[in-house]
Structure 1
């Protein structure tokens, strides 16, 4: 005869986890996957700047890679305006779909 303490007995099958503990565990596991922002050299910044200026001046579509601590995001669209004081661009992806993207979050740009 099997014991009630192991082999899926009464106590083994009645284990449960509190929702607060599960949320804490899931957030802890996500934090383990957090990445550091890559440091870009001067040449990479120049390539990004050239792609942004070309998109702004000639209204051509550009693909931006935006840094995220867990997974980078790629966006395709046209640079509508460049704000040097606020250090961000207005990036248009469709007729009415636009967003403001900070220079410090851009890690790659290509035409």
Structure 2
């Protein structure tokens, strides 16, 4: 009859409970975070012009927008009325926060409240 026992010098305990140094754990988490990073899609000049026209028209009409925005790590939506529009610097404001026009991936209207 055989039994499994831990004997001095055995690796069984080490294999079942590994110790990770805090700096190694941090490096591992950073690497996992970087794996999720998305790259920015290319936007052609025609689409840039359409985005500009859409923003100008919805800003003038105070029409709420629903925009899908680029972010390296998560899906971001901007929903609301464009309060300010700065075409020279390529940015717009919704709910007091500035966003870059170059980050817009998808245009849409939001229902009026």
SS at match of 1:17: coil
Deviations 1:60-110 (Å, cap 9, x if unpaired)?
A: 100111111122301111111111332211113xxxxx2011222222221
> Using the alignment, how far apart are the partners of 1:50 and 1:19 within structure 2?
51
Instruction: Indicate the residue corresponding to 1:37 in structure 2.
Output: 40
Q: CA RMSD in A?
A: 2.0
Indicate which of 1, 4, 11 corresponds to 1:2.
Answer: 4
Instruction: Indicate the residue corresponding to 1:106 in structure 2.
Output: 104
Q: How does 1:1-111 map to 2 (within 5 A)?
A: 1-2=3-4, 4=6, 5-6=10-11, 9-92=12-95, 98-111=96-109
What is the count of residue pairs matched by the alignment? Answer: 104
Query: Is residue 61–residue 78 contact of structure 1 (8 Å, CA) maintained in 2?
Result: yes
* Structure 1 runs not aligned, ≥5 long: 93-97
Query: Taking structure 2 as the reference length, what is the TM-score of the superposition?
Result: 0.77
